[in-house]
Amino acid sequence: MTNRFLAVVLALALPFPAVAQRPAPPVPAKVDPAVAALRDAALKDDIAYDIVEGLTTEVGQRLAGTEAEARARTWAVAKLTALGFRNVRSEPYRMPVWVRGEERAEIVAPFPQKLVLTALGNSGATPAAGIIAEVAVFKTLGEFMNAPDEAVQGKIVYIGNAMAPTQDGSSYGQAGSARFAGPGIAARKGALAVVIRSIGTDTHRTPHTGVTNFPDGVKPIPAAALSVPDAKLIEAMAARGKPLTMKLVLTPRQIGERESGNVIAEVPGSDPNAGIVLIGGHLDSWDLATGAIDDASGVAITAAAAKRIMDSGKQPRRTIRVVWFGSEEVGGFGGRDYARRHGAEKHVAAAESDLGADRIWRFESSLEGSAKPIADRIESAIAPLGIVHGRGPGGDGSDIGPTVALGVAGIDFNQSALRYFETHHTADDTLDRIDPEALRQNVAAWTAMLAIVADAPEEIGPVAPKSR
Amino acid sequence: MTNRFLAVVLALALPFPAVAQRPAPPVPAKVDPAVAALRDAALKDDIAYDIVEGLTTEVGQRLAGTEAEARARTWAVAKLTALGFRNVRSEPYRMPVWVRGEERAEIVAPFPQKLVLTALGNSGATPAAGIIAEVAVFKTLGEFMNAPDEAVQGKIVYIGNAMAPTQDGSSYGQAGSARFAGPGIAARKGALAVVIRSIGTDTHRTPHTGVTNFPDGVKPIPAAALSVPDAKLIEAMAARGKPLTMKLVLTPRQIGERESGNVIAEVPGSDPNAGIVLIGGHLDSWDLATGAIDDASGVAITAAAAKRIMDSGKQPRRTIRVVWFGSEEVGGFGGRDYARRHGAEKHVAAAESDLGADRIWRFESSLEGSAKPIADRIESAIAPLGIVHGRGPGGDGSDIGPTVALGVAGIDFNQSALRYFETHHTADDTLDRIDPEALRQNVAAWTAMLAIVADAPEEIGPVAPKSR
């Protein structure tokens, strides 16, 4: 071995080869002191908590298309007007409405026990007296999909598909397929009904509802979610090897078309040609709780941030439009109605808050090309809030989705989802789930973003929508 | 100032005066290697978890005096027999039985919202169609007791009395007075019904049931517990200053006398004159859940420890009697029946596990006089499990209480109650609440204690019962 060969070997073996240099980190964009001041003042915000507390206390649950959602719109118009917004109005549209009925289940043999479950949105109904049938137990959606139709025909299908917590919430999409698609597949296969393990990460007796859909031409069957402990109980019973018999009573109804609507408020910009910055969350909630994290917090965070800009003493260049969308939970009707009505107006950016109220951990956007300096300035302004700049494009969210699809730049502030799916769509989604300090961190991030985007001299968009 | 005076001043000012000595710590009792070996082997115990899993899966809820509790006795006799215990039998007695009916409530004005609540044991009933009345809101039991009768007559009384977690569980007694005594006082004052904030430390929509009692001659009124978030909601609504109107439907029933019973199993001792060591927990549970921590864990821990002694290859000197008591929750009927039947037999010590399945943090006993060396040996044997020796007397617990009152030495192993009252008496008391490692620590402590007490050469008791 020559010395020269040895030197090459050593150089290759070194974790940081002596010949290479680590690249210097990029120089962060400077933070405008006015933006920093607005951000820091927002860390003492009480506006957002006041909105969440008011909406959950004075209205409570507000299922899409019901009189409760109508009361929420009345409350919202009054609140946004009282906060000083301009052009506050409700924009109605009609959509099909599903309402919950009775929901009870029990194992009648071999181990009689009552179960806790809740119907999924768009579930079919059993007769009022219920059905009694054998349970076909599948621990995963895949196991169920691979089963022959004969294994499920005339039975109540149980699908497990356990979900683990993830910070970015991606496990919801994966585990959630049992809810999104499972009932439709079960109906096609000839099952009598389907009960899934709740798409949630908790171990409480509070089942997680949520919408499901049946393919065109397939008659909806009764479909419900068991609480996680009840689902585990069924699996433990099944492990003993004897057939399980379940009684199931589920009597939800489709009640036809009703009125829903979006509520809109504005902070008018000084330059009518500079375009609109669209922000918001959804006003409707599921019917089991007061919808504090889903999504009173989203409407509250975005409105509080917009109000802080409005009250800053400096009119923004661009109009900030706050939309509290209707009937998101049951199929994104508000977001589609908004895009249909307003899609021709010049929107330059859109951002939605619909992942609860825990601390924001990541910022992503489609602010590229001439707009990239804006993203850089946002990154610098919110880094002190503990927020990283992710690589993905922005534009997530079912309410802004139809508008983003028209070529509008999306901006995402991702809250940590590690605890979100413990209470998402359950009776536990109440004011107790709101951490006021985390809520303030959200408002601070949104305030900084609005201060930067609404005033940015750069042109923004249009952008070519990307698939994530 | 003389030097002598200065010296006195300095001596007084010193935190540890030079003239004083800290006493040497007492020399701990030696640990018998056989006891240590049994203790350490129990840290790998699977018997207790198997009992909890089996009882919660194959029986589930087992409300006192119902067919479910009868199924639990059948299960218990089979299980204890299969485990190899001797003299396994069920001892029936009769007791009055209360069963749950419908339970629904809502605020109808000024903010229509459904509420989640559950009837308290012994609650009276509303008509089937329910009652509608104004709510008289009191944040504490004291505030309620000090209110004039006219302030509550014809109204639904709300009592808050918030509870904080404590390691020794003492806040249950203090906050719990709203449940134990509040409904009786409300009935005397002329209230139409009473709803309390759950006696619990969680913020979930799972209300905490539990027994209440009405004084002789006072007609029971409807009495229920709201979940903690619902209670807070009522207080938030009341803070807005408008009168609240509630609709309440509560239809439980007293169904007369039914059969309940204790299940008994033994590890016979070698010396029939050495007396009995009585241990156990209660077999019945509330009806909202499978009763994993209240008290499947208690019957499991005590039986597992007794079995480990039975299987150790050395017969104990004293008989270990395991009792799975019936109908504890609704008034301690099993404990009283046991003392009535067996009080004349020579019991030397009694210990009960009925505070869940978290780690034991403290040991207390009435092992005094000639029996004090036994307490010292227990202290040494369980110190490695992280258990301190408290100063109080032993003998806590409603099941062993009537036997302890006859002059039997009590031994207490206190689990940490910091989390116990989050799920106590709620629908959430399921297998998910059991931490297998903490359960094993319990079994290890009980096994060490039984090995010491059942074989101790010292005479034990009788003791004069003390008030705690």
Same-domain check for residues B50 and B125: no
Residue A115 contacts B where some CB pair is shorter than 8 Å = no
Whether B57 contacts B292, CB under 8 Å: no
Crossing angle of the two packed helices B47-58 and B436-455, in degrees rounded to 10: 120
The verdict on a CB contact (< 8 Å) between B113 and A430 is no
CA pair distance B110, B212, nearest whole angstrom: 30
Task: Give strand pairing partners of B347.
Answer: B276
| In a shared domain, residues B247 and B261 | no
Residues A272 and A413 grouped into a single domain? yes
| Residues 6+ away with beta carbon under 8 Å from B61 | A113, A114, B68, B285, B286, B287, B288, B289, B290, B291
Structure tokens at B268: 């016979």
Q: Do B428 and A113 touch (CB under 8 A)?
A: no
Q: Rounded distance, CA B392 to CA B385, Å?
A: 20
Selected residue of B430, B433, B434, B435 to mutate for chain A interface (largest A Cβ count, 10 A): B430
Nearest chain B residue to A53 by CA: give it.
Answer: B236
Residue A40 has pLDDT above 80, yes or no: yes
Please name the helix (run of DSSP H) or strand (run of DSSP E) that holds residue A357, with its range, or none.
Answer: none
Asked if B319 and B446 sit in the same domain, the reply is: yes
Tell me what pLDDT residue B64 has: 98
When CB atoms are compared, the residue of B57, B205, B426 closest to A427 is B205
Structural domain count of chain A: 2
A10: pLDDT strictly greater than 80: no
From A105's Cα to the closest Cα of chain B, the distance in A is 14
Contact between residue A274 and residue A456 where contact means Cβ atoms under 8 Å apart: no
- For B202, which residue in chain A has the nearest alpha carbon? A432
- pLDDT computed for residue A5 by the predictor: 45
Instruction: Give the sheet arrangement for strand B117-119, strand by strand.
Output: B113-115, B103-109, B245-250, B131-138, B156-159, B193-197, B223-226, B117-119
Q: Is residue B148 part of a domain?
A: yes
Tell me which of A254, A280, A298 is where a domain ends: A254
**One domain, residues B335 and B422:** yes
pLDDT at res. A19:
55
Of B56, B112, B428, the CB nearest to A204: B428
Average pLDDT of chain A is 95
Same domain, A443 and A296: yes
Q: Is A460 among the domain residues?
A: no
Distance CA B453, CA B374 (A): 7
pTM of whole model > 0.80? yes
Closest CA to A331 of A234, A394, A273, A401: A401
Decide: helix, strand or coil at residue B245. Answer: strand
| Percentage of chain A exceeding pLDDT 90 | 91
Average pLDDT over residues A169-198: 97
Strands laid side by side in the A245-250 sheet: A113-115, A103-109, A245-250, A131-138, A156-159, A193-197, A223-226, A117-119
Which of B251, B285, B315 is at the close of a domain?
B251
Q: Which residue of A has its CA nearest to B59?
A: A111
Say if residues B382 and B449 touch (Cβ distance below 8 Å): yes
Q: How far is B54 from chain A (nearest CA, A)?
A: 9
Tell which of A229, A254, A279 closes a domain.
Answer: A254
Q: Which of A299, A293, A320, A255 has its CA nearest to residue A64?
A: A255
- Rounded Cα distance, B391 and B375, in Å: 11
A43 and A149 housed in the same domain:
no
Residue located via tokens 């009552």: A114
For residue A2, being part of any structural domain is answered with: no
- Omega before B295 within 30 of 0, i.e. cis: yes
Type of residue found at B98: W
Q: Among residues 274-303 of chain B, which lie with CB inside 8 Å of chain A?
A: 289-290
Domain CATH for B331? 3.40.630.10
Asked whether B219 and B187 are in contact (CB, 8 A), the reply is: yes
B59 in reach of chain A (CB within 8 A)? yes
* pLDDT of A18 higher than 80: no
State the Cα–Cα distance between residues A450 and A456, nearest whole angstrom.
Answer: 10
Is A370 at the interface with chain B, CB within 8 A? no
Distance from CA of B307 to the nearest CA of A (A): 24
User: Within an 8 Å CB–CB cutoff, is residue A113 touching chain B?
Assistant: yes
Tell which B residues from 24 to 43 touch A, by Cβ distance under 8 Å: none
Q: Phi/psi zone of residue B90: left (φ > 0), alpha (ψ -120 to 50 degrees), beta?
A: beta
pLDDT exceeds 80 at position A156:
yes
* B160 and B65 fall within a common domain: no
Dihedral sign computed on CA atoms, order B10, B11, B12, B14: positive
- Position B21 in a domain: no
Evaluate whether residue B368 is within a structural domain: yes
Domain co-membership, B306 together with B421 = yes
Shared-domain flag, residues A219 and A287: no
A323-361 pLDDT, tens digit per residue, is 999 999 999 999 999 999 999 999 999 999 999 999 999
Q: A270 and A218: one domain?
A: no
| A20 band by pLDDT with thresholds 50, 70 and 90 | low
Q: What is the pLDDT of residues A51-79, one digit of tens each?
A: 999 999 999 999 999 999 999 999 999 99
> In whole angstroms, what is the distance from residue A59 CA to residue A71 CA?
7
In a domain, residue A385? The reply is: yes
Quickly list H helices, A345-409: 372-382, 401-404
Distance CA B216, CA B230 (A): 31
Nearest of B351, B209, B265, B206 to residue B51 by alpha carbon: B265
CATH code at B237?
3.50.30.30
What is the pLDDT, as a whole number, of residue B2?
Answer: 44
Name which of A116, A205, A287 to mutate to probe chain B: the one with the most chain B Cβ atoms within 10 A of its Cβ: A205
In this model, does residue A7 exceed pLDDT 70?
A: no
Q: Which residues of chain B have pLDDT under 50?
A: 1-2, 5-14, 17, 467-468
Asked if A109 has any chain B CB less than 8 Å from its own CB, the reply is no
Beta carbons of A63 and A96 less than 8 angstroms apart: no
Angle between helices B436-455 and B372-382 (to 10 degrees): 150
Helix (H) or strand (E) holding A322: strand A319-325
Inspect the interface and report whether the beta carbons of A229 and B116 lie closer than 8 Å: no
Written as one letter, the residue type at B79 is: K
CB of A428 within 8 Å of any CB in chain B? yes
Q: State how far the Cα of A303 lies from the Cα of B112, in Å rounded to an integer.
A: 25
CB-based contact B205 A290, cutoff 8 Å: no
Rounded to 5 degrees, what angle do the CA atoms B51, B57, B58 make?
85
Chain B hits for A116, CB-CB cut-off 8 Å, are 427
B20 in any annotated domain: no
pLDDT in tens, A130-147: 999 999 999 999 999 999
Determine contact, residues A248/A113, Cβ cutoff 8 Å: no
Which residue out of B198, B204, B226, B288 would a mutagenesis test of the A interface target, given it has the greatest number of A Cβ atoms within 10 Å?
A: B204
Contact of B321 with B270, CB cutoff 8 Å: no
> Looking at the domain assignment, is residue B126 inside a domain?
yes
**Residues contacting residue A4 through CB under 8 Å, at least 6 positions apart:** none
On whether both B88 and B207 belong to a single domain, the answer is no
Give SS3 for A104: strand
Please indicate whether, in this complex, the C-beta atoms of A236 and B57 are within 8 angstroms of each other: yes
Preferred mutation among B115, B117, B288, B428 to probe A, highest tally of A CBs within 10 A: B428
Distance of alpha carbon A82 from alpha carbon A85, whole angstroms: 8
The whole-number pLDDT of residue A11 equals: 46
Distance in Å, alpha carbon of B68 to nearest chain A alpha carbon? 9
pLDDT band at A262 (very low <50, low <70, confident <90, very high): very high
Q: Which domain holds residue A129?
A: 102-254
Contacts of A237 in chain B (CB under 8 A): 57
**Residue B181 structure tokens:** 């005594």
- Over 80: is that where the pLDDT of A456 sits? yes
Is residue A302 over pLDDT 80?
A: yes
